[in-house]
């Protein structure tokens, strides 16, 4: 994995000179009410509404997206998922704080935000504050296959949430692709990454269903290891990690849109003469 302190050429693609990062996993250090499954890819809060703070197992590489999908919600609580980065090594914590906000942030070197669609954006120094409120690009989510965030170009396919297979899944999927659903809806996909800058600092970006929300924080120490923070808080009960393809897309990723164009809805994929693994990928991933 590329270390956070490695120099990153602006716009450098993933490839032999810049290997793709390994699959993301949750850290074994987490909040008291969190249970991580044996694969390290699913985190569930088993009681209460707090003590749900999780971390990435490894520091993120520049441009690497730590992407989670909301799997389960729980009624009766006020509040939603929180997401961010920390320069604190989770293994060095004497105890995992009850909340990411404000407890973990108050320890310093931590940047965490409650997930919303608008208020996390910060303007660049010397630019009008209105820049922070303006969308980063037109809503071309159905057309543009890549998401460009500063110097990084990330395939959008895995970044966008998908509905459960059903008769109307083809209609619901468009709501995820256009990012018209609440950002903390079930099956929404939320990611965090950092982008180094020439001055040695980094910007933190939050991605909601394939749309960059703009820089949420600036001036992060790019030379230090930065771990992802996911707070499975309140009405968010369970999340799973989604792996992002950075280089050439896999064959199954290339096949999926072609297969889906040939059926009315995803349930019809079961009737196709295709390998089961490919059918499951087209239906669920």
Confidence (pLDDT) at 137: 47
- pTM > 0.85: no
Judge residue 172's burial from the number of C-beta atoms within 10 Å of its C-beta, 0-12 exposed, 13-18 middle, 19 or more buried. Answer: middle
Per-residue pLDDT at 191 exceeds 60: yes
Confidence (pLDDT) at 120: 54
With helix as H, strand as E and coil as C, how does 83-131 read?
EEEECCCHHHCCCCCCCHHHHHHHCCCEEEEECCCCCCCCCCCCCCCHH
- Domain spans of the chain? 26-122+140-244, 250-284
Confidence (pLDDT) at 135: 45
Per-residue pLDDT at 170 exceeds 70: no
> Which has more confidence, 25 or 263?
25
**Rounded CA gap, 84 and 228, in Å?**
6
∠ Cα 40 238 43 (to 5°): 20
Lowest mean pLDDT among 4-18, 19-33, 174-188: 4-18
> Which has more confidence, 181 or 61?
61
Lowest mean pLDDT among 42-46, 198-202, 244-248: 244-248
Confidence (pLDDT) at 4: 45
> Which has more confidence, 162 or 49?
49
Output the average pLDDT for the chain.
Answer: 83
Element (H, E) at 230: strand 227-231
Confidence (pLDDT) at 138: 45
CB atoms within 10 A of CB 13: 12
Confidence (pLDDT) at 130: 46
Q: Of 38, 14, 40, nearest to 26 (Cα)?
A: 40
> Which has more confidence, 165 or 157?
157
Confidence (pLDDT) at 255: 78
Q: What SS3 state is found at 217?
A: strand
> What topology is assigned to 26-122+140-244 in CATH?
Jelly Rolls (2.60.120)
Per-residue pLDDT at 110 exceeds 90: yes
**Rounded CA gap, 11 and 148, in Å?**
10
Q: Of 232, 236, 254, nearest to 245 (Cα)?
A: 254
> Which has more confidence, 222 or 259?
222
Per-residue pLDDT at 73 exceeds 80: yes
**What tens digit of pLDDT does each residue of 129-155 get?**
444 444 444 444 445 778 999 999 898
Of 11-25, 87-101, 244-258, highest mean pLDDT:
87-101
**Rounded CA gap, 81 and 258, in Å?**
34
C-alpha distances (whole Å) from 177 to each of 145, 146, 170 are 11, 13, 11
Using 50, 70 and 90 to split pLDDT, how confident is the model at 13? low
Q: For residues 194 and 202, is the Cβ–Cβ distance under 8 A?
A: yes
Lowest mean pLDDT among 12-21, 237-246, 250-259: 12-21
Residues 6+ apart with CB under 8 A from 269: 165, 259, 260, 263, 279, 282, 283
Lowest mean pLDDT among 127-141, 192-206, 214-228, 256-270: 127-141
> Which has more confidence, 143 or 160?
160
Per-residue pLDDT at 208 exceeds 50: yes
Q: Cα-atom radius of gyration of the chain, to the nearest Å?
A: 19
Q: What is the mean pLDDT of residues 58-71?
A: 97
Give the residue carrying structure tokens 């949420």: 216
């Amino acid at each position: 994995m590329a270390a956070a302190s490695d120099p990153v050429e602006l716009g450098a693609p993933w490839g032999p000179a810049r290997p793709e990062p390994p699959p993301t996993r949750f850290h074994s250090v987490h909040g008291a009410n969190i249970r991580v499954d044996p694969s390290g890819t699913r985190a569930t809060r088993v009681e209460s509404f707090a003590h749900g703070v999780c971390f990435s197992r490894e520091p993120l590489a520049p441009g690497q997206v730590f992407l989670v999908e909301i799997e389960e919600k729980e009624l009766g609580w006020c509040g939603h998922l929180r997401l961010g980065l920390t320069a604190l090594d989770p293994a060095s914590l004497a105890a995992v704080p009850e909340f990411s906000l404000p407890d973990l942030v108050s320890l310093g070197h931590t940047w965490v935000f409650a997930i919303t669609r608008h208020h996390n954006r910060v303007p660049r120094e010397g630019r009008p504050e209105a820049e922070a409120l303006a969308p980063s690009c037109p809503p071309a989510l159905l057309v543009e296959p890549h998401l460009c965030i500063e110097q990084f170009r990330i395939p959008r396919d895995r970044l966008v949430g998908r509905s459960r297979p059903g008769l109307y899944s083809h209609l619901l999927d468009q709501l995820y692709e256009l990012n018209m659903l609440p950002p903390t809806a079930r099956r929404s996909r939320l990611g965090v990454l950092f982008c180094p800058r020439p001055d040695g600092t980094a910007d933190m970006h939050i991605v909601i269903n394939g749309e960059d929300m703009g820089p949420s924080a600036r001036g992060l120490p790019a030379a230090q290891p930065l771990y992802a923070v996911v707070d499975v808080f309140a009405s968010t009960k369970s999340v799973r990690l989604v792996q992002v393809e950075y280089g050439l897309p896999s064959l199954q990723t290339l096949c999926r849109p072609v297969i889906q164009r040939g059926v009315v809805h995803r349930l019809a994929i079961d009737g196709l003469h295709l390998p089961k693994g490919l059918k499951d990928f087209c239906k669920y991933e």
